[in-house]
Amino acid sequence: MKRRQVLIGWLFVLPFVLVVFFFLVLPLIYAGYLSSQADSLVGGQHFVGITNYIDTFKDPLFLEGLKRVAIYALISIPIMLSVSLASALTIDVIQTRLARVFRLIAFMPYAVPGVVAALMWGFLYSQQFGPIYWFAKKLGFRNLDMFDPNIFIYSISGIAFWAWTGYNMIVLYSALQGISREIYEAAIVDGASQKQIAFRIKIPAIRGAIVLTVLFSLIGSMQLFTEPRILSRYTNAVTLGYTPNIYAFNLAFNQSQFNYSAAVSFALGLIVLVISYGFLLRNRRMADK
């Protein structure tokens, strides 16, 4: 009977296992194989070991794109998560119908596909008919160009702020809902203000959710691709190696360098893994102190 139950359980999860194996595991294995190969005019593909990876970490285009996504993360993540946390704390206190409507409206940008969002913001940033340029012109900023290479990274950060602030707010708000209301009542009886409750009870209690949102935001920032790729038709800021993902895409589909593109992709994945592990390790050490 026990064996039969185990077999039935595996039959239920078998479709998911097959999908993961054929559409995730096998492509990763094949990409890993490609990253260890190189093309030659005479002998075709041949094994080169980690040579492609060594070249990747010396590649100025890859390093430039890596630096750019790091700047993007430093710009967007602190502002986005600060607003998300403040909004979550606010609607946790204001239990009215207006707060429920605000949650729905704030979450709606996350439901918009990334390509559609990038095209929409391309319209908003336009100097010909975009409202942002019109307002800036009224305020005296007549030369504002959101597609200028010097400020384009800030324009992309604005799109990320619009798209992900509401999502992170819902994650943090859900964590707040898991805190027992009796703790708040006891704090109020002891004379604590709402500000003291927020900083001394709520924020420490949802530390795990905050760490989760920071981690996901870091990973998403390192994988930046859709917004600059879609908006590249409006600006010359998006170069061959604007971000590591765009660099890997151009290598594979514009230059047919599939082996080197696979190495660039795996190198980026390794960097994301190291950053994520380092962040979690540091956070755990701080929590233990």
Return the pLDDT at 170: 92
Dihedral sign for Cα atoms in the order 232, 238, 241, 245? negative
Return the pLDDT at 41: 67
The Cα–Cα gap between 210 and 174 comes to: 11
Q: Mind giving me the DSSP string for 162-195? A: HHHHHHHHHHHHHHHHTS-HHHHHHHHHTT--HH
Dihedral sign for Cα atoms in the order 24, 29, 35, 39? negative
Return the pLDDT at 130: 81
Q: Is the pTM of this model over 0.85?
A: yes
Which residue shows structure tokens 């969002």?
117
Burial (CB count within 10 angstroms: exposed 0-12, middle 13-18, buried 19+), residue 205: middle
Contacts of 84 (CB under 8 A, 6+ apart): 165, 166, 168, 169, 171, 172, 213
The Cα–Cα gap between 155 and 228 comes to: 10
Query: Tell me, what DSSP letter sits at residue 206?
Result: T
Helical pair 114-125 and 131-138, crossing angle rounded to 10 deg = 30
The CB density around residue 32, as the number of other CB atoms within 10 Å, is 13
Is 230 within 8 Å of 119 (Cβ atoms)? yes
Residues of the chain where predicted confidence (pLDDT) is lower than 70: 41-43, 289
* Count of residues making up the chain: 289
pLDDT tens column, 89-130: 988 888 777 777 888 888 888 888 888 999 899 888 888 888
The Cα–Cα gap between 229 and 8 comes to: 45
The Cα–Cα gap between 257 and 243 comes to: 17
User: How many helices (H) and strands (E) would you count in the chain?
Assistant: 15, 2
Return the pLDDT at 244: 94
The Cα–Cα gap between 57 and 226 comes to: 23
Residue 148: phi and psi, rounded to 5, are -65, 135
The Cα–Cα gap between 58 and 54 comes to: 6
Could you tell me where the beta strands, DSSP code E, fall in the chain? 37-40, 44-47
Residue 240: phi and psi, rounded to 5, are -55, -40
Return the pLDDT at 194: 84
Q: Where are the domains of the chain?
A: 58-288
Q: Sort residue 44 into left (φ over 0), alpha (ψ -120 to 50) or beta.
A: left
Return the pLDDT at 42: 66
Task: Determine the topology of domain 58-288 in CATH.
Answer: MetI-like fold (1.10.3720)
